A and B are shown apart, each in its own frame.
Chain A
Amino acid sequence: MLNYALQRIGLAIVIVFLVVFALFVMIHFIPGDPVAIALGPRATPEIEARFVAKMRLDEPLYMQFFAFLGGVLQGDLGNDIFSERPVLTILFEALPYTVILATAAMAWSAALGIFLGCFSAARPNSLIDRITGVVSIGTITVPSFVVSIYMLIVFAVFLKWLPVIGAGEPGNFWDQARHLILPAFAVGLGWVGYVARMVRASMLEVIGENHIRAARSFGLPHRVVVYRYALKVAILPTITLLGIGFGNLLSGAVFAEIIFSRPGIGKLIFDMVMTRNFPVVQGGVLVTAILYVATTLTADLLAAAMDPRIRKSL
C-alpha cells in the first residue's frame, strides 16, 4: 500500500509541475504585448516601464519561469494588478464557495446515482430499470447551464421558493444553505446519470459472479446480498470515477457560479479574464488544477484502501 501511495503521490507532484510549466507557457504565448494588454492603450511609458520591472518582463524567459516557479513553491502567486492584494488571499476567499458547491453537488448526485444504479441492477430490464436508464441518459445530455437557467426561472423567479443569486449572508448557515440548493442541483444533475450507469454496469457484472450466487445459496436475503455483498465490490471502480468527477465538478461550477452569481473560484477567474488581471487568472487556474490532481489522487488511494486485495499486496 505504502509503495503504491508513494508512486501515486510522486506522479501527482510531476503532474503539478507540468501544469505550472504549461500555465507559464500559455500565458506567455497569449498574442500581443502583455504590457499593452494589461495596461490598455492610455498608459504612459513611465507606467509601462514600472509594470515591466515589476512583472520582470525584461528578464530572459527562463529566468521568468524560475521566478514564477520559485514563487509558486513559496506560496507567492503574485499580486492583483489593480488592488495589489496577494493573489493567494483572493483565491482563498473564493475557494470555499466552490468547494462547498462541488461537494454538495457530488454528494447528492453520487448518493442518488449509486442508489439508482443498485436499484436497476437488482431488477435488470424491468420497467423501473428502463425508466432509470432513460432518465440517466437525459441528465447526462442536458448541459448544466441550461438546467441552471430553467431552474432559476421556475424556482426563483416564478415560484419564489429560493433566492435568485448570491451565496447568502456570510456566517448565516441557513441562508447559505438556501442559496446552495439551486446551483448544487444544477451542477450535480448530470452526474446522477453517469454514476447510475456506471454503478449499474459494475453491479450487474458483480451480481453474475460466483460469490454472489454462493451468498444467495446460504440464504442471505436479497437486500443484504445486493447492498452489502455486491455493492462493496461494485463500488470500487465508481470511486475512481467520482474522483475524476469531483475535479470536473470544480470546472462545471464555473457556469453555475456565473449564472447564480456565487463568489466562487470559477466566477473569479471569469471576472479576472474579463479585466485582464492575469496574475489572478494564473493563480486561479493553478489552484483548480492542483485541486483536480488532489481529488483524483485521493480517489485512487481510497479505492486501493477499500480493496483488501490491493491493500495488502502493494
Chain B
Amino acid sequence: MARPVLAVRHLSVDFRTLRGRVHALRDVSLEVPPNKIVGVLGESGCGKSTLINAVTGLLANNAEITRGEVIFEQADLAKLSERELLKVRGEKISMVFQDPMTAQNPVISVGRQMTDTLYRHRKLSAGEKRKLATGMFRKVGISDPEERMDQFPHEFSGGMRQRISIAMALMMNPDLFIADEPTTALDVTMEAQFIHLLRELQADIGCAVLFISHNLGLIAELCDEVVVMYAGEVVEKGPLAEIFFNPCHHYTRRLIECDPSRVLDRSAVLPTIPGRLPNLTRLPAGCIFRSRCGHAIAECATKSPPLLAVSETHSVACFNHASLIERPAGGRAPRLKSNASENPVLEVDGVHVRYPTGGLIRRLLRPDAPRHMDAVIDVGLKVAEGQTFGLAGESGSGKSSLGRAIMGLTPAKDGSIRFKGDEIRGLPPREFKRYRRAMAMMFQDPVASLSPRQKVRRLVMEPFEIHGADGRDLNREAENLFQMVGLSREFFDRYAHELSGGQARRVGVARALALRPALIIADEPTAGLDVSVQGEILNLLRELQRELGLTYIVISHNLPVLRHVSDRVGIMYLGRIVEQGPTDRIFSRPAHPYTRALLDGIPRPDPSMRRKLESIEGEIPSITNRPPGCEFHPRCPIASDLCRAVPPAATELNQDHVVHCHNPLQGA
C-alpha cells in the first residue's frame, strides 16, 4: 500500500477547563491514503472537531496534545512551530467548514479573500492571482466569475457560498482536503450538487480527502474508507462496505439501525441508543461504550478494549464483537398503531401570506419596486384528528410562514382557516386566544426558543401564566408534563444551556403539551439532533399522539423523518404546495418532478445504491422574482413550452393525490 498522506498515531488531546481535564481524544489512530476519501463518522461530542483542529494545528489555547503524533509528509505536525505550520495550512492541507453562511469574511470581497490565500506566492502578480481565482470560480460552477469576484459573501446563496469555500480551499492544489460536515446547513438538492462537485474535483485534483460527518447516507455516498468515533475514541475502522454490511462494534451497528430511512415500516418504533455520552473529565473504567452497549461482558468493565483486526483491513475495539457475527434472530420491532379518525381538525383553503417590503421612503424613491412578497400562495390542506401532516420543501419554500399563519402569528391575507369547523382567520386577538390554547407550536431551535434566564420548570409552566391555570394544581401539572416527555424531576431547576439538544427538545414538547392542545405544529422537530436522539423524539411525538389523540403538522426538510411520522405529505415550492397526498404514495410514486428530485436527493445509507447524477440543477429562485408559467420550469428536466407560459392547475391523480404539473410523472 502506498504511504498514507496523513497518519495520525495514538493521538491523545486534553482540554484544561475549570472542571478539570477533559480527555477529548484518546489514543486515536487513523490513516488517509493518497487519492482516497476517508470518512470520519460520529455524533456530536465524539471528538471529530478536536481531531481536525489537532491535525491542522488550530487547537484552542487550553488544549494539550498529551501523546501521539500527526505525520504529514514525514513531519510531525504536532511538533511544528506556528510558523512552519502556516506553510502547511492552506498550501498542503485545506479545509471546508460546516456553515457556509459564516465561513467567509462579510466585509471583504470574495475575490480578495481568494487571492489573499495566495499571499505567500510573491512571484505572482495581482493579475495572475486574480486569473487563478476566476478559474477556480468557474471550476466550482459559479457563472460570471469575473463580475462575481468583486461581490461580497452576503450576495451569494448558501449553496454558492459553500462552492466558494471549496474554491478557496482548493486554490493551492492541496494534498489533503478536510471537509467538516460541509453539507449539514444545505438543502437536499444543494447537498446532492455539492457531493457531486466534491467527487468530481477530487478525481480532478487527485488529493486525499478526510470527510467528517454524522450523516450515514453521505458517508455511504462518498467515502472509500470509514473511521467510526465515539466519545473521543476510534471504535471501528475499515473499508466502506465492511462497515456498512458487516459492522462489528455495537455502536456502529446501532447507529446504522437508527437511520429512519432504513426503517421502511412506518408503524415501527424507531431504534435509538439509550443513555448519554460519558463524562470525559472522569472517564469510566473499561470500555467507553459499556453503559449504553447491552452486550457487555465481565472484561468490558475492567479493561479498555484495544483496536484489534477482524480482517486485514477492518479493525474494531470491542471484546464481545464476535457475538455480532451471528446476529440475534431479528425480533420484530415494536409497533405503534395510529388511531386517526376522519373528523378534520384543521382545514386550510386558499390561504395567502404576504409580507410587505421596504418602508415609506423606499417606496417614494423606487415607485416601481414590488411592495410585497408572497411567502405562501393559495395553499389548501386538511388534517384529520389524530393524523400527522408533513410539510416538506427547501429553505425559503414558505413552510414556516404557513405554520405561523395557521397559528395566527402572521396574518393570512385571504382564504380560510377552519379549526374544528370554526373560521379562525383574521379573528381579533381577544377572540383568537380561545383557539390559541388549543394549538401549540414547537419552535425550530430548541435552546434558542427557551429563555436563558428561567429555570426549566418555569419555562414549561409559562403557558399557564399566559392563559391562566383555571384552578389546576400547577405542581402536579408540572410533574405530569415532565413524566410525559420522559424528563426526571431533577431537571426542574436547570437552565436551558444546561440541557443537551435532545433534552431541550423534550422541554419544547412539554411546553407545547401544557395546555392540552388538539393541534401541535412542530417546526423542524429534529433539526440539529444526532440520529440516535432523533429517534427518541420522533418516538415520543408518536406515542403522545396515540395517547392523547393529538393532531400534528410537522414541518421539515428531512424527508426520511417526514416519511416516518406523516400520514399525508405536502411538498412546497416557492410558497405553493405543488404536490400532496398519502405518504406512501408520494414516496413510492411521486408525480411532480420536484418531489422526485427531492427524493433522489436523499443520500442512501447503503454503499451499493450510490447515485450517478446530480438530482436537480440550479437553485430555488427568489420569491420576489418568480419565473412565469410553472414556477419550477427553470429547474425542471422535462419542462415544455406550455410549462414556460402557463401555470399548471391542480390535477387530482387519484383520490387524495393532487399535483400541480402539466406533465405528471408516469407511474403515479
| A interface residue numbers (CB < 8 A to B) | 2-3, 6-7, 209-222, 224, 228-229, 232-233, 236, 306-309, 312
Contact = CB atoms under 8 A, between A and B. Distances in A.
Nearest to A229: B105
Contacts, number: 90
Contacts of A309: 106-107, 152, 154
A183 to B, nearest CB: 35
A85 B651 CA distance: 86
A224 B104 contact: no
B90 A220 contact: yes
B259 interface: no
A232 B107 contact: yes
Contacts of A210: 97-99, 102-103
Contacts of A216: 58, 89
A217 B94 contact: yes
Contacts of B90: 217-220
Contact of B95 (A214, A222, A229): A214
A306 B86 CA distance: 30
Contacts of A218: 89-90, 94, 116-117, 168-169
B108 interface: yes
B362 interface: yes
A219 to B, nearest CB: 3
Contacts of B359: 3
Contacts of A236: 107
Contacts of A211: 102-106
Given A217-B90, A217-B95, A209 B116 contact: no
Contacts of B95: 214, 217
A212 B107 CA distance: 12
23 contacts: A3-B362, A6-B361, A210-B102, A213-B97, A214-B103, A214-B104, A214-B168, A215-B113, A217-B89, A217-B94, A218-B169, A219-B86, A219-B89, A219-B91, A219-B117, A220-B86, A220-B116, A220-B117, A222-B82, A233-B105, A233-B106, A308-B109, A309-B106
A308 B154 contact: yes
Given A211-B106, A219-B89, 12 more contacts: A2-B365, A210-B102, A214-B103, A217-B90, A219-B88, A220-B90, A222-B82, A224-B119, A228-B108, A308-B152, A309-B107, A309-B154
Contacts of A7: 361
A108 B668 CA distance: 74
A214 B161 CA distance: 13
B56 interface: yes
A233 B107 CA distance: 6
A229 B94 CA distance: 18
Q: Max chain B CB contacts within 10 Å: which of A210, A214, A220?
A: A214
A278 B362 CA distance: 43
Interface in B346-394: 358-359, 361-362, 365
B87 interface: yes
Contacts of A308: 106-107, 109, 152, 154
A219 B77 CA distance: 14
B56 A217 contact: yes
B365 A219 contact: no
A308 B154 CA distance: 8
B108 A221 contact: no
A307 B102 contact: no
A213 B99 CA distance: 12
Contacts of B103: 210-211, 214
A309 B105 CA distance: 11
B105 A215 contact: yes
A210 B102 CA distance: 6
Contacts of B400: none
The 10 nearest A-B residue pairs measured at CB = A219-B90, A219-B89, A218-B90, A210-B102, A308-B152, A218-B117, A217-B95, A211-B105, A214-B103, A232-B107
Given A217-B95, A308-B107, A3 B102 contact: no
B375 to A, nearest CB: 19
A215 B87 CA distance: 14
B165 interface: yes
A313 B520 CA distance: 36
Contacts of B155: 312
A221 B82 CA distance: 9
A197 to B, nearest CB: 21
Q: Max chain A CB contacts within 10 Å: which of B89, B91, B98, B358?
A: B89
A272 to B, nearest CB: 41
Interface in B138-168: 152, 154-155, 165, 168
Contact of B107 (A217, A221, A307): A307
A307 to B, nearest CB: 6
Given A2-B365, A210-B97, A214-B165, A306 B117 contact: no
A217 B106 contact: no
Nearest to B118: A218
B58 A217 contact: yes
B120 interface: yes
A220 B86 CA distance: 7
Nearest to A307: B107
Contacts of A3: 358-359, 361-362, 365
Interface in B163-184: 165, 168-169
Nearest to B155: A312
Contacts of B102: 209-211
A221 B116 CA distance: 11
Nearest to A4: B361
B667 to A, nearest CB: 44
Contacts of B56: 217
A58 B154 CA distance: 62
A232 B91 CA distance: 25
A232 B365 contact: no
Nearest to B52: A217
Interface string B78-94: 00001000111111001
A221 B89 CA distance: 10
A213 to B, nearest CB: 7
Contacts of A213: 58, 97
A212 B359 CA distance: 35
B367 to A, nearest CB: 13
A4 B542 CA distance: 50
Nearest to B95: A217
A182 B601 CA distance: 70
A229 to B, nearest CB: 5
Interface in B56-83: 56, 58, 82
B366 to A, nearest CB: 9
B651 to A, nearest CB: 40
A211 B153 CA distance: 11
Contacts of A224: 116, 119
Given A214-B97, A220-B90, A221-B86, A306 B107 contact: yes
A224 B119 CA distance: 10
A128 to B, nearest CB: 14
Contacts of B154: 308-309, 312
A106 B99 CA distance: 39
Contacts of B97: 210, 213-214, 217
A216 to B, nearest CB: 6
Q: Max chain B CB contacts within 10 Å: which of A2, A217, A307, A312?
A: A217
A309 B119 CA distance: 26
Q: Max chain B CB contacts within 10 Å: which of A2, A6, A219, A312?
A: A219
Contacts of B119: 220-221, 224
Nearest to A230: B105
B545 to A, nearest CB: 38
A213 B94 CA distance: 12
A10 to B, nearest CB: 8
A232 B117 contact: no
A219 B83 CA distance: 10
Interface string B115-139: 0110110000000000000000000
B362 to A, nearest CB: 5
A212 B105 CA distance: 7
Contacts of A233: 105-107
A218 B90 CA distance: 4
